[in-house]
């Protein structure tokens, strides 16, 4: 789906949204926050070289709250979020070395 156009998804209808290695958009500045219900989770996985992920991963509580979220947890990416084949922007699958360094940040939509 296009993270900037989720017009066919009702506002506040999703309990959880997962973004794997977002590139070319910020999950917090897209249409994603609109579709997450209050108390719902936004789970983002990415690497340290991904500027879109890195920006969110380094945000403090005040910065996150401006986007309507609070931090639940962050750290090494869990197996739950490492599904499918994650690829680089040129379409090549990430190698094991890159996958082993993936991080996650889990955010909760504020009420």
**pLDDT, tens digit, for every residue of 53-111?**
999 999 999 999 999 999 999 999 877 765 566 656 667 766 666 666 788 999 999 98
Would you state the structure tokens that stand for residue 84, as one six-digit string? Answer: 């499918």
Residue 32: Cβ within 10 Å count: 23
**pLDDT, tens digit, for every residue of 15-55?**
999 998 888 889 999 999 999 999 999 999 988 888 999 99
Dist CA 95 CA 88 (whole Å): 10
pLDDT of amino acid 107:
98
Would you state the structure tokens that stand for residue 22, as one six-digit string? Answer: 């977002």
Dist CA 47 CA 52 (whole Å): 10
Query: How far is CA 106 from each of CA 3, 56, 62, 91, rounded to the nearest angstrom?
Result: 17, 10, 16, 26
Question: What pTM does this model have?
Answer: 0.83
Would you state the structure tokens that stand for residue 96, as one six-digit string? Answer: 């094991």
Dist CA 82 CA 33 (whole Å): 22
pLDDT of amino acid 25:
87
């Amino acid at each position: 789906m296009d993270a900037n156009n989720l017009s066919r998804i009702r506002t506040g209808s999703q309990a959880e949204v997962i973004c794997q290695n977002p590139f070319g958009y910020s999950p917090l500045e897209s249409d994603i926050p609109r579709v997450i219900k209050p108390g719902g989770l936004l789970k983002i996985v990415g690497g340290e070289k991904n500027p879109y992920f890195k920006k969110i991963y380094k945000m403090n509580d005040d910065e996150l709250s401006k986007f309507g979220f609070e931090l639940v947890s962050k750290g090494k990416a869990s197996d739950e979020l490492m599904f499918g084949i994650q690829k680089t922007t040129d379409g090549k699958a990430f190698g094991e070395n890159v996958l082993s360094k993936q991080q996650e940040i889990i955010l909760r939509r504020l009420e």
